[in-house]
A and B are shown apart, each in its own frame.
Chain A
Amino acid sequence: MSRKGPLEGVFFMNGDIACAEGAISAGCRFFAGYPITPATEVAERMAERLPEVGGTFIQMEDEIASMAAILGGSWAGVKSMTSTSGPGFSLMMENIGLGAMTETPCVVVDVQRAGPSTGLPTLTAQGDMMQARWGSHGLYSIIALSPSSPQEMFDLTVKAFNLSEQYRTPVLVMADESVGHMSERVVIPPADRIPLVPRRKPTVPPEKYKPYEPDEDLVPPMANAGEGYRFHVTGLTHDERGYPVMTAEAQGKLVKRLLGKIDLNRDRIIEIEEDGVRNAEVIVCSYGISARVAKLAVNEAREGGIKVGMLRLITVWPFPEKRIRELARRIKAFVVPELNAGQIALEVERCAGGAAPVVLVPHMGGAVHEPRDILEAIRKAAR
């Protein structure tokens, strides 16, 4: 057996493996996880690859431990990731909250399967999109990305690490079983062509360091354990020194910053892909595997003379509120196909604010949409 560094070149690989390779290329050197269909291949690939690049893999006793371990790994100064699916994602929620509260960069991959509960372990769904936003208790913002292809499993995993370091937050890669298990061409650029965001380090000596004193963009520089800063980190409401403060005032100040550092930087964070929206009367808004299926319906509708545009969410959270609002003023309707009973559709509806109706094309998961169902919705919306 020989040791291989980060890959470079053109590959045929599935989305889960591309995700693991994205993590390796992003500099992830610690992975803690627990087997779960359909995300297991991410962990398996990391188990094989991390030792080759000098990193550490551990299979923990459950997903709670996995999530806690990657927070610890990140505080030790090492880029850290875990991967899971619905049931494990539920178990991770409390420690995702700890990650948000303590502003710990890390990446969590959820390869979604149909739920609730054990549901359809091997079959696709997009039922965790609201859980991604709101799943942990209390008030926080989060960043979540939605890949539509194995290539994006690679690209968005790299991006997730960069965003997590830039904004000091857990970043969620909200994949689905279809994208995780499909195999396609994946291009991995040379390492020097993959821009990486380094951790923002304190510029003051240890005695002056306040671990939660933010820079202008509301993100505080981060010292790692063992560097001599002697800082305290707690999940309790805390002040800029990191000390617990049990007052409404401290709560207001901290939580407003936690929300603000993502919400106020949303224009820098959000990435969407638009196709033919300029003259569109109807816009299909979708993400993940559903966006690919919708593309077929959009093409067919265009052939039938309907002016239909496509807006694909690459960043799902924070939501591209401003753009949806702008578009709502000049179109007849949005069509939102998703593999759930209506989650992102609610958000589109909220942002559209009544200016344009939103037609949900729901699907309870276990398969992808029939393109004709989406086409039918487009036709109705265009009338």
Chain B
Amino acid sequence: MNESGNDLHDAVEALLREDRIPHIWCPGCGLGTVLHTFLRALVRSGLDLKKVVVVSGIGCTGRAAGYVKLDSFHTTHGRAIPFATGLKLANPELKVVLFSGDGDLVAIGGNHLIHAARRNMDLTVVCVNNFNYGMTGGQVGPTTPVSGRTSTSPYGNCEFPFNLPHLVAAAGAVYVARWTSLDGRRLEKTIIEALFKKGFSFVEVITPCPTQYGRKNKQPTGLAQMEYYRSMSVIKHGADPSEVGIELGGPITVGKFVDIERPTFAEMQAEILAKAFAPRSGKDPAAAKA
């Protein structure tokens, strides 16, 4: 590793609460990799880290907030997005980043997810998708592929899952990308882009959960799941989000799908209020008389 590599390593370490290690994540879990990549992105972004706030909900991924040495909030299940919305609106100087799992953000928190995207709230969401509820022992979720086996779909999942990029793009997100936890460098670059994107940016990270999900679905180790990502992921920048749904054992389309411009909630609000509070125009009878 060269000099700058060491510096980066030190900078990332400085962002971890080492007094909280060992973490709770299982061997083979992809969360450590994703968190590390996220922290590298934060360091490389050059953002003022004093102003960066990490918010998470509940679940394995939700624990990430407790490991980062930043202002960080581990909130209630599903409610990280509205909590983050309050932080951002009350202090627009903050860079508010969500780091949470698919069950938290998309199942119990699904309503907040689509409304934040609709409003184009200036938030960056890193959504770690491991296709199940890991912390509670591997139950079926809204991302579990059809036929996927979990502890509450022991005969195979009979529900159609959400295609997350399609969902958030349809709801109005201005930046939507997906990588697997194998794509460290690409993910890092994408997170930096997402951090600088004004508005609602959403980065899905497909991540191994061998303990709870892989073992029940013929990928019993983290390595086996990573091997699946290596052989089955296809980079397709600009792919139509409606076509990137994931089937059990099927290909995983990755890349940047959406990168558009749309005014944020705060910009829209400022514009509307500026009009409302503007000095009266000549057309106004009261003003004309004066």
Residues of A that sit less than 8 Å from B by CB: 1-3, 29-30, 32, 51, 56, 58, 60-62, 64-66, 68-78, 80, 94-95, 98, 224-236, 243-244
Q: B280 — nearest CB in chain A belongs to which residue? A: A1
Given the complex, which residues of A lie within 8 Å of B83, measured CB to CB? 68-69, 71-72
Contact residues, B58-106 vs A (CB, 8 A): 65-66, 69-76, 79, 81-91, 93-94
Q: Is there an interface contact between B90 and A232, defined as CB atoms closer than 8 Å?
A: no
Given the complex, which residues of B lie within 8 Å of A80, measured CB to CB? 86, 90
Q: Is there an interface contact between B87 and A73, defined as CB atoms closer than 8 Å?
A: yes
Tally of chain B residues near chain A (CB < 8 A): 39
Q: Give the tally of cross-chain contacts (CB within 8 A).
A: 139
Given the complex, which residues of B lie within 8 Å of A74, measured CB to CB? 86, 90
Q: Closest CB of chain B to A206's CB: distance in Å?
A: 9
Q: Is there an interface contact between B87 and A72, defined as CB atoms closer than 8 Å?
A: yes
Given contacts A51-B273, A225-B71, are A69 and B86 in contact (CB under 8 A)?
Answer: yes
Interface flag for B155 (CB, 8 Å): no
Q: A241 — nearest CB in chain B belongs to which residue? A: B19
Residues of B that sit less than 8 Å from A by CB: 17, 19-20, 50-51, 53, 55, 65-66, 69-76, 79, 81-91, 93-94, 111-112, 115, 265, 269, 273, 276-277
Q: Is there an interface contact between B82 and A64, defined as CB atoms closer than 8 Å?
A: yes
List the 10 shortest-distance A-B pairs measured between CB atoms, nearest first: A72-B86, A76-B90, A69-B86, A65-B82, A76-B91, A73-B90, A68-B82, A234-B74, A78-B90, A73-B86
Q: Which of B66, B69, B75, B94 contacts A230 (CB 8 A)?
A: B69
Q: Is there an interface contact between A76 and B94, defined as CB atoms closer than 8 Å?
A: yes
Could you show 16 A-B contacts with beta carbons less than 8 Å apart?
A30-B89, A58-B89, A61-B112, A61-B115, A65-B79, A68-B76, A69-B85, A72-B85, A73-B87, A73-B89, A76-B87, A98-B75, A226-B53, A231-B71, A231-B72, A232-B73
Given the complex, which residues of A lie within 8 Å of B73, measured CB to CB? 72, 75, 225, 232-234
Q: Is there an interface contact between A233 and B86, defined as CB atoms closer than 8 Å?
A: no
Q: Is there an interface contact between A226 and B71, defined as CB atoms closer than 8 Å?
A: yes
Given contacts A65-B82, A65-B115, A76-B86, are A51 and B71 in contact (CB under 8 A)?
Answer: no
The residue among B51, B83, B90 with the most chain A CB atoms within 10 A of its own CB is: B90
**In the complex, what distance in Å separates the CA atom of A178 from the CA atom of B50?**
47
Q: Is there an interface contact between A244 and B66, defined as CB atoms closer than 8 Å?
A: yes
Given the complex, which residues of B lie within 8 Å of A232, measured CB to CB? 17, 65-66, 72-74
Q: Is there an interface contact between B91 and A62, defined as CB atoms closer than 8 Å?
A: no
Q: B112 — nearest CB in chain A belongs to which residue? A: A65
Given the complex, which residues of B lie within 8 Å of A32, measured CB to CB? 82, 85-86
Q: B276 — nearest CB in chain A belongs to which residue? A: A1
Q: B269 — nearest CB in chain A belongs to which residue? A: A56
